[in-house]
């Protein structure tokens, strides 16, 4: 989907986004979730900032009821640390009992022209993206991955759902025009089919499902929730997280290679990207020592907070030391680069092993 929040450039006004999209701030629900499980760092650190109907998931965890988490991946390229945020949320819910569903949308890659040839996206899905997902630590038998055009139930489900909406509804939400291809129009329904697929009969029928999703993708969520009610499914829940900043500024994007670190980047390349990153520091070392830095607008601190440091106390010390001017950007970059290198070396080993396990994670049709 090509929808962007207008102000997704560096600083995003998340308060405004909450109002605009009509989602719910996370705080109240977080108190309840805290009582039934140990929160993941993404929750503890305010990275997840809003939701829809997350209480259905809290209840499922509390009452040990069946539920699922679903997050889609676009296989137009290898995964980066922005994608990892979604997978980390899926793992959090998986550790709390959820089955994980991951549709790989080779159809989306193609109809929105992110790849020239759908077969490239399909190959990339099986050869790179799925091994990467496995290497990130999703559990066998509790993870169900499928490539959108290769799991025939998806098209059939999309056909079923398609009669619940009209072209004008799609147009109102996504702003299509006459030059839009029928594949783009229909993909709106296919993504809804992805979102509702964990509730198919073969997976035990209607159940709570949570979808970690970008706030800019919320129109799809609204559509899915509308159609769910009309089709005998439960309304899916959703969570929204803050974007990770791009290393060279703005929002992280997979199409600007120096702006993102990819899971398959070599440790050396990743180190270079971090050492050159735009930080929240300002002016000379002297000035920064005097005035302190701004970790709240720092791409390197984003990596530490979102990905590289588990220990809250350690992270807090870094934050405070930056603020007070005791810690300069060089030190943070060096630490981030070291942690990143360790992560990537380990990930690479896991990735090699994961390549033989693809079949164990795929949905096999009956």
Which residues here bind a copy of itself, judged by CB under 8 A? 107, 110-111, 113, 118, 149-152, 154-156, 158-160, 162-168, 170-171, 176-186, 188-189
* CB nearer a copy of itself, residue 108 or residue 271: 108
Least distance (Å) between residue 161 CB and a copy of itself: 8
* Residue 11 bridge partners (DSSP): 9
* Strand duo 237-241 + 209-212: pairing: parallel
Give the C-alpha separation, 50 to 47, whole Å: 9
Q: Which residue has the tokens 């220990």?
A: 311
Number of Cβ atoms within 10 Å of the Cβ of 341 = 16
Least distance (Å) between residue 360 CB and a copy of itself: 20
Give the C-alpha separation, 281 to 237, whole Å: 38
Least distance (Å) between residue 153 CB and a copy of itself: 8
* CB nearer a copy of itself, residue 178 or residue 284: 178
Phi–psi pair at 73, nearest 5 degrees: -130, 135
* CB nearer a copy of itself, residue 162 or residue 238: 162
* CB nearer a copy of itself, residue 184 or residue 199: 184
DSSP character string of 268-316: HHHHHHHHT---S--S-HHHHHHH---GGG-HHHHHIIIII---HHHHH
Least distance (Å) between residue 162 CB and a copy of itself: 3
Least distance (Å) between residue 208 CB and a copy of itself: 25
Give the C-alpha separation, 309 to 339, whole Å: 8
Q: 146 with 361: CB under 8 angstroms?
A: no
Least distance (Å) between residue 189 CB and a copy of itself: 5
* CB nearer a copy of itself, residue 39 or residue 172: 172
* CB nearer a copy of itself, residue 29 or residue 107: 107
Give the C-alpha separation, 184 to 282, whole Å: 44
Cα 264 to Cα 18, 35, 260: the distances in Å are 34, 37, 11
């Amino acid at each position: 989907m090509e929808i962007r929040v207008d102000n997704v450039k560096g600083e995003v006004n998340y308060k405004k986004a909450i109002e605009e999209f009509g989602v719910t701030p996370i705080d109240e629900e977080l108190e309840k979730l805290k009582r039934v499980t140990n929160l993941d760092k993404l929750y503890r650190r305010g990275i997840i900032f809003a939701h829809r109907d997350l209480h259905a998931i809290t209840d499922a965890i509390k009452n040990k009821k069946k539920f699922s988490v679903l997050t889609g991946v676009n296989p137009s390229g290898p995964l980066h640390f922005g994608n990892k945020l979604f997978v980390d949320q899926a793992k959090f819910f998986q550790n709390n009992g959820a089955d994980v569903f991951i549709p790989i949308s080779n159809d989306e890659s193609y109809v929105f022209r992110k790849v020239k040839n759908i077969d490239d996206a399909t190959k990339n899905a099986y050869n790179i993206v799925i091994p990467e997902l496995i290497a990130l630590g999703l559990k066998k038998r509790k993870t169900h991955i499928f490539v959108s055009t290769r799991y025939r139930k998806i098209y059939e489900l999309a056909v079923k759902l398609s009669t619940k909406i009209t072209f004008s509804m799609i147009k109102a939400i996504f702003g299509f025009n006459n030059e839009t291809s029928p594949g783009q129009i229909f993909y709106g329904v296919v993504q809804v089919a992805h979102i509702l697929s964990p509730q198919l009969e073969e997976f035990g029928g209607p159940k709570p499902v949570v979808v970690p999703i970008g706030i800019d993708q919320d129109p799809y969520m609204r559509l899915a929730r509308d159609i769910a009610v009309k089709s005998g499914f439960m309304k899916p829940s959703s969570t929204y997280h803050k974007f990770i900043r791009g290393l060279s500024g703005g929002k992280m994007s997979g199409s600007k290679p120096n702006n993102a670190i990819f899971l398959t980047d070599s440790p050396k390349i990743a180190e270079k990207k971090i050492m050159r990153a735009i930080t929240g520091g300002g002016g000379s070392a002297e000035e920064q020592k005097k005035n302190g830095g701004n970790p709240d607008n720092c791409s390197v601190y984003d990596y530490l907070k979102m990905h590289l440091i588990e220990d809250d106390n350690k992270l807090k010390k870094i934050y405070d030391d930056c603020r007070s001017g005791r810690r300069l950007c060089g030190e943070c970059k060096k630490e981030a680069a070291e942690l990143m290198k360790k992560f990537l070396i380990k990930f690479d080993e896991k990735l090699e092993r994961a390549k033989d396990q693809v079949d164990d994670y795929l949905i096999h049709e009956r």
